[in-house]
């Protein structure tokens, strides 16, 4: 492999603050144990990844193979994550990247934890692309500098660091090409019904205060709104029957409060609660 250039382009991705918690949940959560064990099992060979023995030897010589791959020459066995990486290599070659630049990409995205015998970050992104509506991308600059990120992280990074020319390899597209069933990817503008209702409350209602509570869900199901609390305070005091009629028509869950000063009603507050099931 040619010696890599020491002159690297500036490259940064703003990663979500919740990523560390999600990764810990995947690696140590009991609910993901069967998934981890299954995907880490080494049961694939060159016939599964459509790579010849000659190609494999060449990739090995040039530093393209992940560190965790075991075996000798053509008898190597791969796990699911290594198989995904092999398909990414093929895709990068299709885009014309040289072997030394692909080796640089591997060093950036396929970090191997030798003590735990896992691909510490790569596995998490693969699993999330496999089981959630979020897609992850291998993000590559022209010099081989690389990272993995979700679409919202890439967009956020543009705001901070400006626009750059990037090569994006979709994990979902790779997984589908491998024959895996994946959830349809959502775009940045796809909204759940709960999110649409929240936006409607923000834009269309007279609410003075809006509070949102989220479901505490497992990893890779996507965060969803559990509850929306709104508060409307006005100095227009309706008659009792009007307040009762409005609450009935809205099927209101909440409370109505009339505030008095000196025996006179001065404000009318409606606190509403909308609860959403998982």
pLDDT at residue 66 greater than cutoff 80: yes
Residue at 221 is within a domain: yes
Domain end call among 116, 144, 177: 177
pLDDT at residue 217 greater than cutoff 70: no
Tens digit of each residue's pLDDT (9 = 90 or more) over 95-140: 999 999 999 999 999 999 999 899 989 999 999 999 888 899 999 9
19-28 vs 122-131: helix crossing angle, rounded to 10: 90
Q: What does the alpha-carbon distance between residue 57 and residue 54 come to, in Å, rounded to a whole number? A: 5
Sort residue 161 into left (φ over 0), alpha (ψ -120 to 50) or beta. Answer: alpha
Q: What does the alpha-carbon distance between residue 239 and residue 210 come to, in Å, rounded to a whole number? A: 25
Residue at 12 is within a domain: no
- pTM equals 0.67
Tens digit of each residue's pLDDT (9 = 90 or more) over 237-252: 887 767 777 778 777 7
Closest CA to 211 of 192, 198, 223: 198
- For residue 31, the model assigns a pLDDT of 86
- For residue 190, the model assigns a pLDDT of 62
- Check whether residue 227 and residue 110 sit in a common domain: no
- Check whether residue 98 and residue 233 sit in a common domain: no
Token pair, residue 257, equals: 């409060």
Tens digit of each residue's pLDDT (9 = 90 or more) over 183-215: 887 665 566 788 888 888 888 888 889 999 887
Please spell the DSSP secondary structure of 70-111, one letter per residue: BSSGGG-BB-HHHHHHHHHHHHHHHTT--HHHHHHHHHHH--
- Check whether residue 166 and residue 204 sit in a common domain: no
pLDDT at residue 70 greater than cutoff 90: no
- Check whether residue 57 and residue 162 sit in a common domain: yes
Q: Which of 1-5, 87-91, 140-144, 154-158 has the highest mean pLDDT?
A: 87-91
Task: Using alpha carbons, list the distances in angstroms from residue 258 to 37, 61, 267.
Answer: 59, 78, 6
Tell me what the mean pLDDT of segment 230-236 comes to: 88
The total domain count for the chain is: 2
Residue at 127 is within a domain: yes
pLDDT at residue 162 greater than cutoff 80: no
Q: What does the alpha-carbon distance between residue 63 and residue 110 come to, in Å, rounded to a whole number? A: 12
Percent residues over pLDDT 90 in the chain: 34
- Check whether residue 50 and residue 156 sit in a common domain: yes
Domain end call among 114, 146, 177: 177
- For residue 64, the model assigns a pLDDT of 94
Tell me what the mean pLDDT of segment 81-104 comes to: 95
Tens digit of each residue's pLDDT (9 = 90 or more) over 3-51: 343 344 455 676 765 666 778 888 888 888 999 999 999 999 888 888 8
Q: Which domain holds residue 25?
A: 19-177
- Check whether residue 213 and residue 171 sit in a common domain: no
Task: Using alpha carbons, list the distances in angstroms from residue 98 to 4, 31, 108, 144, 148.
Answer: 11, 40, 16, 9, 19
The residue with greater pLDDT, 148 or 24, is 148
- Check whether residue 43 and residue 167 sit in a common domain: yes
């Amino acid at each position: 492999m040619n010696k890599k250039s020491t002159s690297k382009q500036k490259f940064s991705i703003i990663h979500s603050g919740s990523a560390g918690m999600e990764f810990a949940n995947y690696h140590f959560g009991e609910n993901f144990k069967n998934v981890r064990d299954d995907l880490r099992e080494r049961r694939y060979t060159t016939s599964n990844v459509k790579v010849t023995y000659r190609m494999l030897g060449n990739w090995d010589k040039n530093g393209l193979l992940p560190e965790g791959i075991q075996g000798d020459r053509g008898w190597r066995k791969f796990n699911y994550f290594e198989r995904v990486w092999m398909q990414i290599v093929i895709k990068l070659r299709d885009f014309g990247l040289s072997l030394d630049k692909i080796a640089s990409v591997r060093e950036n995205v396929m970090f191997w934890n030798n003590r735990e015998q896992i691909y510490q970050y790569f596995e998490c992104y693969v699993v999330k692309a496999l089981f959630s509506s979020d897609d992850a991308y291998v993000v590559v600059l022209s010099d081989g500098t690389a990272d993995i990120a979700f679409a919202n992280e890439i967009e956020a990074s543009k705001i901070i660091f400006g626009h750059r020319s990037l090569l994006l390899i979709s994990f979902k597209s790779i997984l589908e090409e491998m024959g895996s069933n994946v959830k349809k990817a959502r775009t940045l503008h796809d909204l759940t019904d709960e999110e649409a209702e929240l936006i409607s409350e923000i834009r269309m209602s007279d609410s003075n205060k809006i509070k949102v509570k989220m479901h505490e869900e497992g990893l890779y199901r996507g965060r969803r709104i559990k509850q929306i609390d709104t508060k409307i305070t006005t100095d227009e005091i309706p008659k009792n029957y009007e307040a009762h009629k409005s609450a009935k028509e809205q099927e209101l869950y909440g409370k109505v409060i009339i505030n008095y000063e000196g025996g006179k009603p001065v404000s009318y507050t409606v606190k509403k609660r909308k609860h959403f099931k998982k």
